Structure 1
């Protein structure tokens, strides 16, 4: 099964955010290349909020290009067989936590569509949550300006509404 076909199945099975889910499915139906960065009309991305429930904290990256505190994530790549695989790959690459990082069961936590500047296009993000092992130590990647653990209560002070909502929805599933 192709990543495109798998993404369609994941989205059809996602019961939250029906209007946005349907917009993602319509986008994919209109753009067979909509899984990858070259699709200038917009493309799916996969991300994961890295959370350490034992310590009551989340790991955020200060995005190099956007200058915002965000969850780990990025573009799907040809070697990704599933959206989950893409989200976990991005989480490992950007967090530096290779051992013990696992996705929260149950599929995507949220969807978030946002414009990306220059060249302007849309990211249709499929958002997961990744559980970090207790006492996990993060290591910054070249894609980040900074990487930092934040207590749950601190996230709203540094991140935008989409990250706060992703955290809240993740916590509701724990």
Structure 2
């Protein structure tokens, strides 16, 4: 494999193979992602029209009481931060942390060692064609007093109490309130 995303592809395979899914649904998605990675060398590249891995971050404040969400311009909903894997990314966690830092404007974020949630969803992304995002999601903590700064990739950026997260981010509510 010699693609620009070869390193992150190998990391994704290693991370997902080692990940202990919290339930049967997450285990099924993990197995599907591993199978996809096994047959698609380009599975981590946005140019993979059949679908591609993305890296997301549920950013929480230091106290673990609020999550930072973005009002996504293309999707039109409040979502966790994240996006496409770039050629310079070498790990899934690194891609998620890069995306979180770029989209939040917050320096000093720290990321969980392992993913916390997986999701597969249809989307028309930056390619302008319908595809699927095979989203690997991490928990990220912001330093004390962190204030987000909206990037050009967002209509709005806001801290939400965990008990009030939108349904699209319900995995975070379940994860953090349990």
Q: Normalising by structure 2, report the TM-score.
A: 0.88
What is the SS of the residue equivalent to 1:144? Answer: coil
Relative to structure 1, the CA distance from residue 55 to residue 39 in structure 2 (aligned partners, 3 Å threshold; closer, same or farther) is closer
CA apart distance, 1:166: 2.8
Unaligned runs of 5+ in 1: none
Q: How does 1:14-25 map to 2 (within 5 A)?
A: 14-16=19-21, 17-25=26-34
Instruction: Provide, for residues 99-145 of structure 1, a one-character-per-residue CA deviation record: whole Å limited to 9, x for no partner.
Output: x210134x000101100035111100000011011210110000000
User: Is 1:104–2:112 an aligned residue pair?
Assistant: yes
CA apart distance, 1:160: 2.3
Instruction: Provide, for residues 22-45 of structure 1, a one-character-per-residue CA deviation record: whole Å limited to 9, x for no partner.
Output: 100111122110101000010000
What is the SS of the residue equivalent to 2:63? Answer: coil
Relative to structure 1, the CA distance from residue 55 to residue 11 in structure 2 (aligned partners, 3 Å threshold; closer, same or farther) is closer
Relative to structure 1, the CA distance from residue 152 to residue 170 in structure 2 (aligned partners, 3 Å threshold; closer, same or farther) is closer
Aligned to 2:97: 88
CA apart distance, 1:55: 6.3
The 4+ residue runs of structure 1 with deviation greater than 2 A are none
CA contact (8 A) 1:49 1:167 kept: no
CA contact (8 A) 1:44 1:76 kept: yes
Aligned to 2:156: 146
CA apart distance, 1:66: 0.5
Q: Normalising by structure 1, report the TM-score.
A: 0.90
CA apart distance, 1:167: 3.5
Aligned to 1:41: 50
Give the total of aligned pairs. 166
Q: CA RMSD in A?
A: 1.5
Q: How does 1:125-144 map to 2 (within 5 A)?
A: 125-144=135-154
Relative to structure 1, the CA distance from residue 171 to residue 81 in structure 2 (aligned partners, 3 Å threshold; closer, same or farther) is farther
Unaligned runs of 5+ in 2: 1-5
